Amino acid sequence: MTFRLLVALSPHGFGHAAMTLPIINKIKEMVPGVDLTLYSSLPRSLLASRLSYGFEYIDGIDDFGLVMTSATRIDLDATARAYNLRHLDWQNRLEAEVARLEKARPDLILANVPYLTLAAAKALGIPAIALSSLNWYDLYRAYLGDRPEADQVLERILVSHGGASKFLKFAPCLPMEALARVTELVPLGPSARLGLKDPKGLRSKLEVPASERLGVIAYGGVAQRLPVEDWPVMAGWTWLVPADWGVKRADFRPFEGAGMSFPDLLASSDLVITKPGYGTYTEAACNGVAVLAQERPDWPESAPFDLWMKEHARYLSLPEGRIRKGRIQDEVEHLATCNAPECPHPTGIVEAAIIILKDIKKLQKWL
């Protein structure tokens, strides 16, 4: 009998997919017979580009996380309204989610980390495992915990996480002490894709000198464009940006012109400019690429991310205004020339796959 695994992914940026799909690839490599369904609102093409195996896709997951106005700015009032509407209509939404899961008929659910899906799994008695570096309970509490309705919303989010038998926490991550009341917390190493390093080939494809340093500007899955046309020219540097930015400068090139996957592009570059975010941080660190980050003091993950990056990567952060104006040359040169620590290994991939496969084997005995 085929084992049906459903993977529910929050569409809030690309980080949830970035940390989860390497584990799914590893599971399928170890047990090819597992039947895979992905459930999200992320573009199917994005998911397919990160998976080495076929999958069924269910679009339209009921999860939003936070309402963003940019890659780093949250619309707090709109987020509060969205949570209020969701929880006022909770029973109807839960029943709709139950119906979706009944139709999909999974034997096990992995959730990163839509709590409505976990609540529906609990209602149906479907085994579930949560996995992530964050959770919406801690983020809601950080941004909206002083609102009159907060206690009721937080309690429901917390109880919903009880639908997971365990929560796999990928380093670096939030502490998540509150979730320990409803599920088992399992700390793991990082999850990140390793790229193929080909700095010579990348420079050849971009038609830049072999001695040129390459910097990638990547702000993750929530679009944000920097006014790079106003940046000063930095001698010896070429910058890689999304093609849809439409930058017309000799020292800028589109990602797409390299003809490489993003992990290979990143691994073959010298530095990435980004915001605090799980996927880019861990992929840069594990591939030995320097990171210049835009400071984001309000983001709950910033503190644990900052500590981990300082230990495992060449890493500096600057205020948003400095980066937007391109006043970064001293920091960029320092990062390009300073000694690099030993690259961390993405041990969380195998660690998570082994834990999940143990549950699959136990469940197969009862199917």
Is residue 185's pLDDT more than 60?
A: yes
Alpha helix positions (H), 60-114 = 76-88, 90-104
Confidence of residue 2 (pLDDT cuts 50, 70, 90): confident
Tell me: the pLDDT tens digits for 26-37? 999 999 999 999
Long-range contacts of 79-82 (CB under 8 A, 24+ apart): 79/143, 79/144, 80/144, 80/147, 80/149
Tell me: the pLDDT tens digits for 277-315? 999 999 999 999 999 999 999 999 999 999 999 999 999
Is residue 76's pLDDT more than 90?
A: yes
The vertex-4 CA angle with 21 and 23, nearest 5°, equals: 20
Residue 360: which of 101, 117, 5, 1 has the closest Cα? 5
Measured CA to CA, the distance from residue 189 to residue 183 in angstroms comes to 19
Boundaries of every domain in the chain: 4-191+347-364, 199-337
Tell me: the pLDDT tens digits for 102-150? 999 999 999 999 999 999 999 999 999 999 999 999 999 999 999 999 9
- Name the CATH superfamily, with its identifier, for domain 4-191+347-364: Glycogen Phosphorylase B; (3.40.50.2000)
- Name the CATH superfamily, with its identifier, for domain 199-337: Glycogen Phosphorylase B; (3.40.50.2000)
Measured CA to CA, the distance from residue 233 to residue 365 in angstroms comes to 63
| Residue 92 CA: distances (Å) to CA of 115, 118, 163 | 15, 15, 18
199-337 shares the fold of 4-191+347-364: yes
Q: What is the pLDDT of residue 187?
A: 98
The CB-side HSE value for 177 (13 A sphere, CA atoms) comes to 1
Residues in the chain: 367
Is residue 367's pLDDT more than 70?
A: no
Helices (H) and strands (E) in the chain, counts: 14, 13
